[in-house]
Amino acid sequence: MESYKIGLVPGPVSVPEEIRRAWLNDYGSSDLEAEFFSLYHQNQTLIQELLHTHNRIIITSGEAMSILWGSLKCTLRAGEKILAVSSGMFGEGFAEMARSFGAVAEVCGFPYDEVPDPERVREHARAFRPKVLTAVHCETPSGTLTPCLAELGRVAREVGALFVVDFVASAGGAALDVDGCGIDIGLLGSQKVLSMTPSLSISSISPRAWGVIEDVNYSGYESYIGWREVPEAHYMPYTHDWHSMKALNISLNAIFSEGAANVLARHERAAKLCRDMGRSMGLTLYPKDEAWCSPTVTAFCVPDGWSWGELDGALRAEGVAFGGNYGELAGRVFRVGHMGSQADCELVEHGMSILAKILRG
C-alpha cells in the first residue's frame, strides 16, 4: 500500500521524519543498560509536565488498548462495581471490557453527539457506589471533547471511587490538567498527538490508585505490578521497546521546543479551520454544539446524496485519507484527524479543499 499524500485519519497519524530516525539506530538490551533507564526517566519527567501531574508515569510497550484493559484489570476484581460515563464508543467500551472479566458495570450514558452532564453522573454514582468511575476525554469516533473532567473527578472523590480517564486522543493537543481534575489513572497512546507508531502506552497513576493496584495484585502482560519502581530498580517486567522510547523522547522534546501552549494553539487553529471550511461547503458537524468539538478531530455527517464508500473512494483517488467510523456511526459520520503532526493548517486546508471540489461535483 502506498502512503496517502494528504493523511488526515484520526490516528495513527503520519510519523514525522525526525521521529522515524529513532529506528535507524541499534540500541542495547533495554533491561540491562543504564542508558535506557535514564531515557525512560527523562520521558517520565516530560510527560508529567505535559499532563500537569505529580503522579508517577508508567510507560509500557503495546498499543493503548493494553492500558485500557490493564487499568480495569488492575483495579477491579470479579463482582466489583464500575460506572462508565459514556457519550461514545470508547466510554461504552470500558463497561464491556469490565463485564468480560466479571466486574459489575453500569453505563451512565449520553447521546454520542453530546457530552456528559456531571449532575446526572453524580446522581447515578451516589446510587450505585462504584469502585471505579471511567470517562473519556476525547471521544474520537464522535469528535467530541468532554469539558467536565474536573467535575467528574469531584464526583469520583465524593463516592470514594478511583477516577480513570482515557485521554488517548487528546493529551498534548487539548488542554488537560491531570492533578487539577483528580485523575487517578490517566491513559495515553503514542499514535495520536505524539505522532508515533502505535507502539507505546503511557499511564499516570496516583498514590491512591497504587494502593488499589497493589491490593488487587493482578498479574498479566498488561499489569502495572512491577512498573512502580521503574526506573529506580533497574528492572522491568519485560524487555522494553528502546526504539519507541527514543522516538517518544524526540516527540516530547519537539513539543516542548515548540512550546506546549503553542502546540495547543496550533491544534485549535487547525480544528477551527476544519470546522469553518466544512460549514462553508454545507457540511453538518456531528456534535450538536460546536463548543463540544475536540481540537484534535472533527466529525462531520456524511452529506446527503453520498454514501461514505463513494465519498471515501473519491477522496482516496485524489490522495486524501480521512477517517470513516464504527458501530452505529459507520457510514453516517466521517472524521478529519488533525492531531499531532496533522494539526497543520496547510494540510487541513489542502484536504478540505479537495473535499469541497468533490462535493461541488
> Strand pairing partners for 202?
59, 188
Q: Does 295 bind ligand PLP (CB under 6 A)?
A: no
DSSP notation for 234-282: S--SS---HHHHHHHHHHHHHHHHH-HHHHHHHHHHHHHHHHHHHHHTT
Amino acid identity, position 211: G
Q: Exactly one of 113, 166, 222, 241 binds ligand PLP (CB under 6 A); which one?
A: 166
Q: Name the residue among 339, 350, 169, 136 with its Cα closest to residue 255.
A: 339
Nearest to ligand PLP of 169, 354 (CB atom): 169
Nearest to ligand PLP of 37, 94 (CB atom): 94
Q: Exactly one of 6, 164, 168, 311 binds ligand PLP (CB under 6 A); which one?
A: 168
Q: Name the residue among 161, 146, 129, 174 with its Cα closest to residue 86.
A: 146
Q: Does 62 bind ligand PLP (CB under 6 A)?
A: no
Q: Name the residue among 331, 326, 335, 70 with its Cα closest to residue 209.
A: 70
Q: Does 63 bind ligand PLP (CB under 6 A)?
A: yes
Closest approach of ligand PLP to the CB of residue 10, in Å? 7
Give the SS3 label for residue 2. Answer: coil
Q: Count residues near ligand PLP (CB under 6 A).
A: 13
Q: Does 65 bind ligand PLP (CB under 6 A)?
A: yes
Cβ–Cβ under 8 Å, residues 355 and 28: no
Stretch that binds ligand PLP, among 25-33, 37-45, 115-123, 163-171 (CB under 6 A): 163-171
Residue owning grid cell 507505546: 200
Nearest to ligand PLP of 63, 268 (CB atom): 63
d(CA 47, CA 56): 10
Q: Exactly one of 90, 94, 110, 112 binds ligand PLP (CB under 6 A); which one?
A: 90
Q: Exactly one of 136, 148, 213, 315 binds ligand PLP (CB under 6 A); which one?
A: 136
Question: CB-based burial of residue 185 (10 Å sphere; 0-12 exposed, 13-18 middle, 19+ buried)?
Answer: buried
Residues 6+ apart with CB under 8 A from 304: none
Nearest to ligand PLP of 63, 106 (CB atom): 63
Stretch that binds ligand PLP, among 114-122, 134-142, 246-254, 257-265 (CB under 6 A): 134-142
d(CA 156, CA 129): 9
Q: Exactly one of 70, 153, 189, 278 binds ligand PLP (CB under 6 A); which one?
A: 189
Closest approach of ligand PLP to the CB of residue 91, in Å? 9
Q: Does 162 bind ligand PLP (CB under 6 A)?
A: no
Binding positions for ligand PLP, rule: CB under 6 A: 11, 63-65, 90, 136, 138, 140, 166, 168-169, 189, 192
